[in-house]
A = this chain, B = another copy of it.
Amino acid sequence: MLPITEIAKQMKAAAPFVAAMEANRRSEALLGAAALLRENAEEIFRENEKDMALSDSLALPLKKRLRFDRPKLETVCRGLEELAALPDPVGTVTLRRELDRDLVLSRISVPIGVIGVVFESRPDALVQISGLCFRSGNCAILKGGSEALHTNRILFSLMRQASLSAGFPEAAYALAETREEIGELLACDAWVDLLIPRGSNAFVRYIMDHTRIPVLGHAAGVCHIYVDAAADLARAAKIVLDAKTQYPAACNAVETLLVARPVAPVFFAILTGRIKAFEAENGKKIRLLGTPEAAAILSCEQAGEDDFGHEFSDLTLAVKLVADVDEAIDHINRFGSHHTDAILTEDDVAAERFFRLVDSAGVYRNCSTRFADGYRYGFGAEVGISTSKIHARGPVGVEGLLTYKYLIEGTGQTVGEYANGSRSFHFRDLPC
């Protein structure tokens, strides 16, 4: 295999041709990939068995992610078919403006170009990410978790085969397999347009600190739920339980619970009941860390200084009382990670204030923070979730993998004529 630098260089040269391909080729690659995956299902499962056999030391949730079985195959294949059915996102005209007679500016959507994606040991991610790149006309260097080596290899080779049959150039996709190659990739700022790292906070932070390539993603997911004085408290307890327990390791799980002082005693009583039921049913303990004030009315441990703004990634929840929605907003903007935060209230004024003032990629009312996800937003899939303010924010699907270019069609115009006043602009927007 070629060094990553050489792969990236060739990919950069191929990228404009991928961007210029006809739309039906992109759909063809997606449908072809789904067909190939189904045809080669047994071989894929055999390769996955090899990975599973080597995974004894992994924790159970990681093993579950690593397993690639028929239901997962069906899910990713349906995902590819859904992406194929979407209207082609490349070449969409988003602005047309006559600057002057016979001088027309337009803006069209184009792929970003070369994307590097580093993701966890989860084979379905390889299919989803390649699928999003096919749909958006991007080239990609993919590096999956090493525990999924055999599964990734066969999935990648089938995805690539589908891309080649649809007319994508040889250089459009590559699979990296070693840690050293990540280091090489970080130095490819001349050829790689965007990096999307997924994984632990420390890993994402490391990537952000060691490259000049723009990075899309999130280092931390510190999500909050604020239970307002006007909340439906029974419903609130149900939502808090879901947001904490449905998948505690996810970035969109809740880490801090803020409760309006007046309803705290009643709400804690309801919540405690729900927690006990959950614990009895699941044989798991939820750990609550409260401020002294919360601890006075809730059975919990004492929270430390650093427990607010901390991503526990397990069944731990920090708890604090606040006066009102304004104090909640202030706490969230100060300690949160601008990922996803929710208010539970029946009060439209408080909700409106929360929507306006909370500075996060996702701001929710009366539902679980766990909805922050490309699939649940109807994006078909996601390459990741961004907590950056720049480019794409929240779950990133096809749209986040596109940029635009400005085109001007003229008939000999020079800027000198406009500078000396012999011609002037009239700026008239045209239908797109």
| Residue positions of A touching B, CB distance < 8 A | 13, 15-17, 19-20, 97, 99, 103, 105, 112-113, 193-194, 208-209, 212, 214, 216, 232, 235, 238-239, 241-243, 246-247, 329, 333-334, 351, 355-368, 370-372, 376-378, 388-391, 393-395, 403-416, 418-419, 425, 427
Contacts and interface: CB of A to CB of B under 8 A. Distances in A.
14 contacts: A105-B378, A208-B212, A214-B388, A214-B389, A246-B416, A362-B405, A364-B410, A366-B409, A366-B413, A367-B409, A367-B413, A371-B413, A376-B415, A390-B391
A367 B333 contact: no
Contact of A378 (B97, B113, B393, B395): B97
Given A212-B209, A362-B405, A404-B393, A235 B377 contact: no
Contacts of A412: 232, 235, 238-239, 366-367
Nearest to A402: B389
B214 A390 contact: yes
A221 to B, nearest CB: 14
Contact of A415 (B356, B362, B370): B370
A168 to B, nearest CB: 15
The 7 A-B residue pairs with the shortest CB-CB distance in the complex, in nearest-first order? A367-B410, A242-B414, A370-B415, A378-B427, A20-B356, A391-B391, A235-B412
A362 B208 CA distance: 29
B359 A390 contact: no
Given A363-B407, A364-B409, A365-B407, 8 more contacts: A97-B378, A99-B378, A239-B412, A242-B416, A367-B409, A372-B406, A376-B425, A378-B425
Contacts of A411: 366-367
A389 B112 contact: yes
A368 B415 contact: yes
Contact of A408 (B212, B365, B427): B365
A48 B354 CA distance: 45
A371 B15 CA distance: 26
Contacts of A366: 409-413
A364 B407 contact: yes
Nearest to A355: B407
A357 B405 contact: no
Interface of A: prevailing SS = mixed
A175 to B, nearest CB: 23
A128 to B, nearest CB: 17
Contacts of A17: 357
B246 A357 contact: no
A42 to B, nearest CB: 27
Most buried by B among A208, A216, A365, A371: A371
Contacts of A425: 376, 378
Contacts of A410: 364-367, 371
B242 A415 contact: yes
Contacts of A377: 97, 99, 105, 406
B403 A389 contact: yes
Contact of A394 (B16, B193, B362, B405): B405
B212 A358 contact: no
A390 B246 contact: no
Given A366-B409, A405-B394, A409-B365, A19 B193 contact: no
Nearest to A375: B425
A333 to B, nearest CB: 6
Contact of A103 (B13, B103, B367, B370): B367
A209 B211 CA distance: 10
A257 to B, nearest CB: 15
A416 B418 CA distance: 62
Contacts of A235: 412
B378 A193 contact: no
B16 A329 contact: yes
A378 B429 CA distance: 10
Contacts of A415: 242-243, 246-247, 368, 370-371, 376
